[in-house]
Amino acid sequence: MNANVEENIMRAIIPGLLLGALAAGDALADACYVSTSASSEAIQEVEQEFCYEFIGMSDGDIDWSCNNEESGGMMNSEQRKVASCADARLGSCEAALTQETLSNPRSGDDDRSKPRPVVPNDAKVITHYYQAGDLDQVRIDCESSGGTWQAR
């Protein structure tokens, strides 16, 4: 094969490979797995296991809200970043992501070392529930805050 032909083929292939690599990176969306349990056996019905992901945000923005800072109070909470949320779920809530909801589940806790990410107008948060003490109440909370509930 002629050297010029090989060079032209490589010029045509490389942009396609780069585009494919970028698309694959977008497919590996960040998510945050959260497990909460009561510190007292008297209130175990509030135990939850869920995972949330941001749609329409930049890679790494979920780091701001997904951390294991001390939860305090009556609940123990563990959060960890995962590549994606698991498929086996009881239901999901899709809602608009706003500056206020960005910090949930600890809304109002503004003492962070990193500045809060900018939230685009079309950004969404999808929360997938795997365990909930009262799934009907979770659905009511989702819908009353403007979200859309989908049972599995």
One digit per residue, the tens of pLDDT, for the chain of length 152 reads 544 434 433 343 333 332 333 333 344 458 999 998 877 666 656 678 999 999 998 888 888 888 766 555 667 888 999 999 999 899 999 999 987 777 654 444 444 456 677 888 899 999 999 998 889 999 999 999 999 999 98
Three-state DSSP class for residue 126: strand
Residue 65 lies in a domain: yes
Give residue 72's identity as a one-letter amino acid code: G
Q: Which domain holds residue 96?
A: 29-151
- Token pair 């809530």 is found at 93
Residue 111 lies in a domain: yes
Residue 1 lies in a domain: no
User: What letter would DSSP give residue 103?
Assistant: T
Please state the domain count of the chain. Answer: 1
pTM of the predicted protein model = 0.69
Residue 8 lies in a domain: no
Q: What is the pLDDT of residue 60?
A: 85
Q: What is the pLDDT of residue 83?
A: 92
Q: How is residue 19 written in tokens?
A: 């585009």
d(CA 101, CA 65): 10
d(CA 37, CA 132): 10
